[in-house]
Amino acid sequence: MKRAVSALWARCAVRQAYPYTTTTSSSPEVGASASEAWDGRFRLHKPRGQHLLTNPRVLDAIVRRAAISSGDAILEVGPGTGNLTARLLASHAARVVAVEIDPRMVESVTARAAALGLADKLTVIAGDAVEVEFPEFDVCVANIPYGISSPLIAKLLFGPYRFRTATLLLQKEFARRLVATPGDGEYNRLAANVRLVADVRLLMDVSKRDFVPMPRVDSSLVEIRPRGIAPGVDVSEWLAFTRACFGQKNKTLGAIFKQKRMVMELFGRSQRAEECAGGVSLGALDGDSGEDDCGETDDGSNRAVGFSEEEVAAFKERVAGALDTAELAGKRPSKVSNDELKRLLRLFNKRGVRFQ
């Protein structure tokens, strides 16, 4: 009952704080009420992912699905003009921190909170969400610009943050890849990396017609819930390992790791593990391209300078031995569970095979 009253109060407050959209000459987008429809007072940049969610029923559903508790600190990324922010401020949360890179949006969402009489609950951080440091928060609720979905999720899950849930509105295709499981045709490196540290579930789909300007694709709302327990492997090593596994996901693991180029790159990395060691790469949850050339010579060849053919052959045998012990040489990475992949990584590392 309290949630219903809160949601009703939020809708009424939004209408009072955002009445000027009713004066536009064009009709609102399908699914948008007069209070949320975009009035076109400044230009929205589609290439930057500026698509405003305007359907009040969807906005209400997002806040409801976020399961916000009394006293929560909420992190919102990309608040835009504040359609979702207004509802978060009207919830039982203690405060909302919104991160926004566009100065025009910063001004808009700040003014909207003031009009609602809730400015004391809002803090706006002006900057790039991938680059700025987040304050402590309990839940993240956001309509994420499509272009930063992967690095932002990486930052949330593999950064220093401890939070209960992230309820994120993502491009539908990206969301399907995110929630894929081993054996699915869409299972990929992104899903494997996220599932190392969190549980993910699909909450609902959102039509592209509920946004202004209308994007080319539909969206989906997902919930990411960190497990709060250690993954059992070195995270940096795991991210580099899955990059090698899923770079050619239609090949078997045996075929991937028996390629001459792969063997030579791993040999070079393993011999210079300390030189190549580094922190977690926060932009590396998906994609299949290597992010460094450690292990290759300056001329781009696959020779291991300073080592004999016998040493390289022995290393190749260690790689094959790990695959045979794990009984995964004949399987494609998209068919293998994270537990199986973690076991294979441990076997590789035990034999001196390093991935970063």
The binding site consists of 51, 53, 78, 100, 128, 143
Binding residues for S-adenosyl-L-methionine, as ranges, are 51, 53, 78, 100, 128, 143
What is the number of other CB atoms lying within 10 angstroms of the CB of residue 51? 24
- Using an 8 Å Cβ cutoff, are 200 and 224 in contact? yes
Return d(Cα 138, Cα 161) in angstroms, integer: 9
Helices first, then strands: H and E counts in the chain: 13, 9
φ, ψ of residue 278 to 5 degrees: the values are -165, -175
Q: Which helix (H) or strand (E) holds 342?
A: helix 338-350
- Using an 8 Å Cβ cutoff, are 326 and 343 in contact? yes
- Using an 8 Å Cβ cutoff, are 219 and 208 in contact? yes
Q: How far is CA 103 from the centre of its chain?
A: 24
Q: Which amino acid is at 21?
A: T
Whose structure tokens read 């080319």?
216
- Using an 8 Å Cβ cutoff, are 129 and 153 in contact? no
Report the DSSP pairing between strands 139-143 and 73-77.
parallel
**How buried is residue 320: exposed, middle or buried, by Cβ count under 10 Å (0-12/13-18/19+)?**
middle
CA distances from 42 to 26, 83, 107, 198, 201 (A): 15, 16, 12, 39, 36
